[in-house]
């Protein structure tokens, strides 16, 4: 199999925002508790209650931004329950996720401490679904105001003298569903009202992010951009890659959509699957391209200067939970299939980085497509983590447009390309190509022309395995990890490489 890739190394026009490599942490299952937070008295080595192994692993991949506290949890979260002495904090039922007790031991102060340890930007998601305008206004004041007020006095009494640095604030989450079952027109009005009271107390203005559409709900984007586009800095799209949708979708005459839970929905196993399910996930990952293109076209109509970012602040694979685990915890394993599909999605985000300026994979630890899994004191890095490790070279580099001509695999009446690619050049002149070969059995030979460059040195890494469902376990944590890649040769105007089946490849060219 042959494919061609053309890259003009002088054609870059804009930077790839580092926030495209962002993450998401919700009070869901074992993401926060057992994931990030073990408490100061835990035998697991920690810094002020936050796991040291997690800090080290996430700093290694330079996570640029972390979204919290949800998700659906955000629209039932009342921030005052999570401040003050932990022993006095309110205990509540986490109604969305497993009906378990939430003790609020991880709250505002702990989240900002985590972000400072990780050296990452905090992204707070506020409560529109069950909260009030006043509650949201007061939270922003508590976090960011440096003057005199009862809320500042309360923050200082709780041990934080100076305000925190906060750049990103989400006004609600999935308000078409768990965030209030709203119509787009109703939420647009609420967004205009709530966002007005998200005040700028710090030196830099807050970037306000509106809850965006679910998948292909283009009506939502149309209404939000038309009615509220002037008042937002970002619109948050949510899209999960899965074999089967778990909702029944009803479109109303006015264009709004209702999402009803499908009884006995089966999403398939994260580990035990056949070739059809491999290609179904690849097809679903490639569908991200259509979503980004169509939502961006609507945004271009109202915002041709691209002031409003398209933010994909929830994305990733979604399968059945692992047998024997709480169905409300959404704990799933992570195989080579997750890694290749993540590579496809990140390539698409890179290639649309003029409009897409933040994405957050769901979720960082122990939930859905998690880069990290924990079991007590043990921790492992999943294949998806290693994709982030390889792709971090694109952060803040200049995007290079790619022209890819490749064969296609036909699945369920849909044609999906064998190969996915994106490219960038960093400030040192190094060009990085990231490539995914979805073919289960055959290598793909690629001829890549690099106009404007005579390659002097190439190096590479590859992430692959002998079976499509290979994954890391706590007993065998390094079954899937990057290794050196040498299947390439330098040409006068580019390079030639042979990409193995089921692989993610990083090439560095100088």
Among candidate residues 349, 244, 241, the one with its CA nearest the CA of residue 289: 349
Residue 424 is inside which H or E element, if any?
A: strand 419-425
Active site residue 207: no
CA distance 494 to 499: 16
CA distance 268 to 458: 40
CA 100, 71, 393, 284: dihedral to nearest 10 degrees?
A: 100
CA distance 176 to 236: 12
Q: Provide the greatest CA pair distance for the chain.
A: 69
Contact 67, 24 (CB under 8 A): yes
Contact 36, 106 (CB under 8 A): yes
CA distance 34 to 325: 15
Return the HEC string of 326-385.
CHHHCCCCCEHHHHHHHHHHHHHHHHCCCCEEEEEECCCECCCCCCEEEECCEEEECHHH
DSSP 449-480: EEET-----EEEEEE--SSTT-B--SSSTTSS
Active site residue 442: no
- 502 sits in the region (left: phi over 0; alpha: psi -120 to 50; else beta) called left
Q: Give the Cα-Cα-Cα angle 25, 184, 170 (nearest 5 degrees).
A: 30
Q: How many CA atoms lie within 13 A of 505 on its CB side?
A: 29
Cα separation of the two ends of the chain: 27
Helix residue spans in 171-274 (DSSP H): 184-196, 218-228
CA distance 121 to 31: 18
Contact 468, 416 (CB under 8 A): no
Number of other CB atoms surrounding residue 119 within 10 Å: 12
- The secondary structure of residue 273, as a DSSP letter, is -
Which one of the listed residues 110, 121, 174, 222 is annotated catalytic?
174
Name beta bridge partners: 241: 317
Among candidate residues 67, 112, 21, the one with its CA nearest the CA of residue 209: 67
Q: Which residues does the annotation mark as catalytic?
A: 174, 314
């Amino acid at each position: 199999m042959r494919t061609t890739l053309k890259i003009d190394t002088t054609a870059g026009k804009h930077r790839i925002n580092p926030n495209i490599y962002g993450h998401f942490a919700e009070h869901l299952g074992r993401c926060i508790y057992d994931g990030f937070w073990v408490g100061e008295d835990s035998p697991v080595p920690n810094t002020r209650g936050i796991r040291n192994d997690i800090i080290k692993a996430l700093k290694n991949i330079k996570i640029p931004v972390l979204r919290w506290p949800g998700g659906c949890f955000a629209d039932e979260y009342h921030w005052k329950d999570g401040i003050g002495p932990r022993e006095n904090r309110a205990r509540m039922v986490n109604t969305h996720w497993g009906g378990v007790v939430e003790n609020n031991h991880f709250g505002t102060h702990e989240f900002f401490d985590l972000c400072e340890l990780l050296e990452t930007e905090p992204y707070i998601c506020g409560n529109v679904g069950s909260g009030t305008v006043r509650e949201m206004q007061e939270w922003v004041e508590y976090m960011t105001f440096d003057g005199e007020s009862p809320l500042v006095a309360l923050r200082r009494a709780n041990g934080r003298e100076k305000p925190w640095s906060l750049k990103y604030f989400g006004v609600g989450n999935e308000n078409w569903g768990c965030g209030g079952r709203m119509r787009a027109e109703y939420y647009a009005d609420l967004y205009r009202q709530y966002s007005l009271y998200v005040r700028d107390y710090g030196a830099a203005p807050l970037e306000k992010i509106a809850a965006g559409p679910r998948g292909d709900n283009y009506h939502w984007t149309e209404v939000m951009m038309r009615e509220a586009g002037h008042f937002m800095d970002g619109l948050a799209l949510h899209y999960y890659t899965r074999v089967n949708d778990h909702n029944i979708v009803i479109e109303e005459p006015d264009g709004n959509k209702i999402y009803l839970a499908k009884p006995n929905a089966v999403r398939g196993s994260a580990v035990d699957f056949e070739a059809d399910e491999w290609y179904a996930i690849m097809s679903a990952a490639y569908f991200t391209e259509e979503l980004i293109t169509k939502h961006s076209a609507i945004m271009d109509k109202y915002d041709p200067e691209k002031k409003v970012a398209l933010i994909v602040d929830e994305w990733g694979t979604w399968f059945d939970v692992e047998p024997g685990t709480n169905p409300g915890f959404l704990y799933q394993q992570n195989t080579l299939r997750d890694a290749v599909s993540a590579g496809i999605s990140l390539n698409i985000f890179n290639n649309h980085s003029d409009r897409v300026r933040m994405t957050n994979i769901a979720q960082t630890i122990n939930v859905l497509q998690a880069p990290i899994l924990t079991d007590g004191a043990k921790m492992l890095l999943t294949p998806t983590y290693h994709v982030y490790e390889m792709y971090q070279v694109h952060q803040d580099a200049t995007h290079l447009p790619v022209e890819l001509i490749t064969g296609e695999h036909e699945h369920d009446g849909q044609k999906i390309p064998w190969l996915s690619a994106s490219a960038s050049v960093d400030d040192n002149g190094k060009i990085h190509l990231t490539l995914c070969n979805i073919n289960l059995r055959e290598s793909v030979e690629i001829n890549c022309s690099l106009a404007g460059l005579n390659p002097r040195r190439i190096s590479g890494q590859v992430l692959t395995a002998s079976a499509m469902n290979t994954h890391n376990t706590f007993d065998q944590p390094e079954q899937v990890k990057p290794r050196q890649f040498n299947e390439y040769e330098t040409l006068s105007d580019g390079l030639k490489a042979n990409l193995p089946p089921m692989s993610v490849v990083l090439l560095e060219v100088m």
